[in-house]
Each structure stands twice: as C-alpha cells, then as structure tokens.
Structure 1
Amino acid sequence: MLLSEAKSRRKILFRKAKIAQETKRYDHMVQFMKEIVEATNPGTDLSPKERCLLGAAFKNFVTQPRQSHLSTAAKTRSWLNHFTGPLAASYLLTSRMEISSACAEIVQLIDCRLLPSAVSKESKVFYLTLKGDVSWYMAEVKGALDGMGDAGVANSAYSEAWGMATELDLMNPHRLAFEVSVAEHFLNFRNSPEDAFAAVERALNISAISSPETRPAVSLLTFEGGLQLTANLLNLKQKLQNALQSNAAGPSNVPAGNAAGNP
C-alpha cells in the first residue's frame, strides 16, 4: 500500500472510530482502532490523537462488562449455596473469561506492537499506564488468588511509567492521566483511599506548579482532554477528602500532600 493510501485509510478509520465512540458502539470502535494499528508502519508510533482514541476504545469496551461482572458477582454470592449456584458460577466464569480475553489482547498489543514503536516519553507513559489499567482490571475480575500475576504486571507497568512521568512537566497531560489512573487503582483495586488521596495531592502540587522554575505547560492547552484531566483530579480529590474526613476520627488522619510514594 502506498504511503498516501495508508494515510488516507487511517484518516477514514479514525473518523469511523469517532462516530462509533459517539454512538457508544465500542466494539466497532476497537475494531477500527486495531485496523489503524495494522495500517501503520510497524516502526512508526501512532499520533497523539490516535493514541488517545485507542485508549478510550479499549477502556470503554471493557468498562461496562467489567462493572456488570462485579455487580453480578456481588448480587449472586447468596445464590452459590442455593439451587441456582451452578448456573451463577458458570455465568460468572464465562463473563470473567470474556473480560480477561479482551484485556489480555490489549496487553499483548501494547507489548508486541505499541511500546516497541514508541519514541517519546509521552507515548511510553501512555502505553504503560494503559497496560497497568487493563492489567488490574483483569486481576479485579479474576479475584485475589487467580489475579495475583496480573496485579503484579499492573504494579510493574505503573512503576516503569512513573520513572518516565517524573521527567515530564508537572502539568503534562500524560503525567496527569497517569496520576488519575494510579489514584483509581489505589481506590478501586487496593481499597486504599488514603493512598489515592496522596496520589491526587501529588499531581495537584500547586506550589510546585506555580514555581518560577516550572516550565509553561503549553502541551496541556493543546492536548485534547487535558483540561478535563485536571478537573477530574480536583473532583476526585474532593470526593476522597470528604470520604476520609467522614470516616476518620479526626482531620489529622487525612494524609498530607505529597505523601504518595512510587506507585
């Protein structure tokens, strides 16, 4: 395929993926984005917009099944000792396998195709963050015992991403997106709102951001969704702060800013 033909095909597929996103047909969105990857030279990274749409496609694709699985698992615990127990267990196993398969496909695509072609730190942080996210999704639906390996993969991916994220501007959107993912990981998977709060505080280090030594975050203003990430962090901070203050014996139990260590 000629270069111009490949670029034209990618543009058409990108528009189709956007339409699929607007109509919430995430299965179609994933397929279009996979075709974009296939139409891209193996040694060439995706564009920033393509990366973002790829991440949105896969995460939206697994979000609803994952939430449904967790909700069903909670509701059907009482069934397991009832006559419907075998049916409930069989259904949950099928659901778990479906979600795990989708997440494993994403991890394989990241490891075998996307990360090897990534050049910039932003790309690498993005792909490693996505890998960490879908890995703990797998661990979550598999359970504490079966999901230990996937939880370890998530921790490794986040740790590697953190090493590069610290070299980015404090207001770089890729760093902000990483901090959002780490906070959600602590809150929803590790069940540690204290660590989640500390991660958000680390991301919203206003004194460091406003320091004269901090470089201007031009990328935040030009990156699609960058401002929304900051809003998400502020909303999450307020939610966590309210929860911690209502559950703690006193204000002193609310973790101080910058308390979060490496993910």
Structure 2
Amino acid sequence: MSTDQPADEPETMPSSKRRRVDPTNTRPGLLFLARLAGSCRRYEHMYHYMRSLVQLITPDQPLTSEERNCFATACCSHVKRRQDAYNFIAQAAADPRRTDQRQREAAMDYLSLISLEIHVACMDIVRTIDLHLLPQTDGPPVSADDLVLYKLLKGNFLMCVADVKGGMEKHTYTTAAIECFESAMVDGKDLPSSSSAGLSLQYSRAVLYSSAYGQPHKGYKIAQEAFNSARLELEVLEERPAEEAARALKTLLHFLDARKMYAS
C-alpha cells in the first residue's frame, strides 16, 4: 500500500502578505502622494513627487491637465515659503532699530543661506522643465497651450532667482526670464485672448517690466491690453471665462487697480 501523502492544497496568501505595489513607481500613486503632501503643506515633498511623476512619464506621454496644474502648484509652493523667509529676514536685516553690528552681520549671513536655497530650488525646477517638459529634438510635439505654460513657469522661476541676486547676476537671470516670456509669446500667438496660460503670461510680463526694468507705464499697458482683449473676446462669443481664466483675469484686474497712476 502506497504511503505517499496527498499534496497539501496551496493556501491563499493573506492580503497583508501580497506584494504591495510601490505608489512611488506609478503615475496615479505619485499624483495621489503629491496631493496628499500638498494637503498637509509639505510642499517640498509635493514637488519631489511631481518631479518624479514628470520623469516617469515623459517624453512618451504628456501631462494631463490635472497633473500639469498640480506640478505648477507644487513648484510655486515649494519656492514661496523660501521667498517669504527671505523677505522677512531682509526686512529684519535692514531694520534701522537694529544697531548691533554683529546681529546685522548674522542676519545678512542667514539671508545669504536662504538666497542659496531659493537659487537651488528654482534652478532644479528650470532643469526639470528643460529636460522633461519642453520639446526635445527627437521628442513628441508639445501643444501651444503647454508650451506657453512651461515657458511661463521657467521664466517666473528665473525671475525668482534674479530677485535674490545683484549686479550682473541679476541682469543675467532677468534677461533669461524675459527671453522665456517673449518665446512663449511667439508660441501662443494663435491662442485665444482669454486663455488662462496667455493671460498669466501677460501678467508676468507686466510685473517684470514694472519692477525689474523700472517701466511701470509699460507694465500697466501690457496688463491693460491683455485684460481688455480677453473681455472683448468673451463678450463677442457670449461666453463666461473658464475657472482658471477667471482667476487670471482677476489677478490682472488687481494689478491694474493698484497701478492706476500709471494709466496713460
């Protein structure tokens, strides 16, 4: 008589033992983690996850509208907290009531540290845009709307670097920013006047000319023409602006209201 025992039936692996998919290796997982990090104001983590998502899917696939907006939000939030710190410390260092020379020097040293952090963060964003989002020689085409947005972002972060520099460095980064904006103007020449990317681009150009170039009248004119063209287009088409375009129009209007003295 055979003494062989019947083979044991394979047990179903408990769900807790199954191989777990690492969310940092998937597109939906990275987007989820980025939004989660943004919800608890961990913006450095938010940017890290969105940069990983961009590196994962490009250049084979473009970002979706949701991913593109999340990337832009992550970049801006990642840098803004450093900008806020820089502005606060700059005011403290320049406070005339602070007579202790050692304290002034300590504040200036700390300001240099924050300036370096802003430089590093902004240039990392610029490199990510250059390498993964702007069109490459052998890569797929990029839509005009996306081109405008990515060049706008690149220009804005070059301006952030210029804001914490002085002398020739400030001039170099400011020039690079305006070149980005002017290139975006060419790419977006056929976009509707009421497109959110186009309106945001005109706002950034207006700010640059008003502040960096000391030409507030030109800055006002740029913003006014953009605002009026968009409003006229929407009236002719009898349409309401999309949510993002409405925010861009509101930003332009605030810019104009604050600079009425430069209207000609």
Scaled to the shorter chain, the TM-score interval is: 0.7 to 0.9
Q: 1:93 aligns with which of 102, 105, 112?
A: 112
Instruction: Give the distance between the partners of 1:41 and 1:133, measured in 2 at CA.
Output: 22
Does residue 62 of structure 1 match 2:73?
Answer: no
Instruction: Give the distance between the partners of 1:211 and 1:29, measured in 2 at CA.
Output: 39
Does residue 148 of structure 1 match 2:159?
Answer: no
> CA offsets, 1:1-25, max 9 Å, x none?
xxxx99x921222122223223222
Sequence identity (%): 23
Q: 1:209 aligns with which of 227, 233, 245?
A: 233
SS in 2 for 1:16: helix
Q: Which amino acid aligns with 1:113?
A: H
Instruction: Give the distance between the partners of 1:216 and 1:190, measured in 2 at CA.
Output: 37
Does residue 198 of structure 1 match 2:221?
Answer: yes
Match of 1:130 in 2: 153
Q: 1:254 aligns with which of 221, 239, 263?
A: 263
Instruction: Give the distance between the partners of 2:29 and 2:115, measured in 1 at CA.
Output: 34
Instruction: Give the distance between the partners of 1:137 and 1:97, measured in 2 at CA.
Output: 12
User: How far does residue 208 in structure 1 lie from its aligned partner after superposition?
Assistant: 4.4
Check conservation: 2:51, 2:128, Cα contact below 8 A: no
Check conservation: 2:178, 2:205, Cα contact below 8 A: no
> CA offsets, 1:148-184, max 9 Å, x none?
2111110110110111222211111111121222223
Runs of 4+ in 1 over 4 A off after TM superposition: 78-81, 215-218
TM-score (norm: length of structure 1): 0.79
Check conservation: 2:134, 2:147, Cα contact below 8 A: yes
Q: Which amino acid aligns with 1:155?
A: I
Q: 1:11 aligns with which of 3, 10, 28?
A: 28
Match of 1:240 in 2: 259
The answer for unaligned runs of 5 or more in structure 1 is 245-252, 256-263
* Shift in alpha-carbon separation, 1:200–1:37, aligned structure 2, 3 A: same
Q: Which amino acid aligns with 1:95?
A: I
Q: Which amino acid aligns with 1:165?
A: G
> CA offsets, 1:74-124, max 9 Å, x none?
331356981334322321211111110001111111111110265101111
Between 172-181 and 188-197, report the one with greater CA deviation: 188-197
The answer for unaligned runs of 5 or more in structure 2 is 1-21
> CA offsets, 1:186-222, max 9 Å, x none?
344344432332121111125742575xx7879x53x
* Shift in alpha-carbon separation, 1:81–1:158, aligned structure 2, 3 A: farther
Check conservation: 1:66, 1:141, Cα contact below 8 A: no
Check conservation: 1:103, 1:135, Cα contact below 8 A: yes
* Shift in alpha-carbon separation, 1:211–1:217, aligned structure 2, 3 A: closer
Between 55-64 and 112-121, report the one with greater CA deviation: 112-121
Does residue 53 of structure 1 match 2:70?
Answer: yes
Match of 1:250 in 2: none
Between 97-106 and 111-120, report the one with greater CA deviation: 111-120
SS in 1 for 2:47: helix
* Shift in alpha-carbon separation, 1:210–1:38, aligned structure 2, 3 A: closer
User: How far does residue 39 in structure 1 lie from its aligned partner after superposition?
Assistant: 1.9
Q: 2:185 aligns with which of 162, 172, 177?
A: 162
Does residue 40 of structure 1 match 2:61?
Answer: no
Match of 1:261 in 2: none
TM-score (norm: length of structure 2): 0.78
Equivalenced residues, count: 235
User: How far does residue 49 in structure 1 lie from its aligned partner after superposition?
Assistant: 1.9
Check conservation: 1:177, 1:229, Cα contact below 8 A: yes
SS in 1 for 2:101: coil
Instruction: Give the distance between the partners of 1:41 and 1:168, measured in 2 at CA.
Output: 24
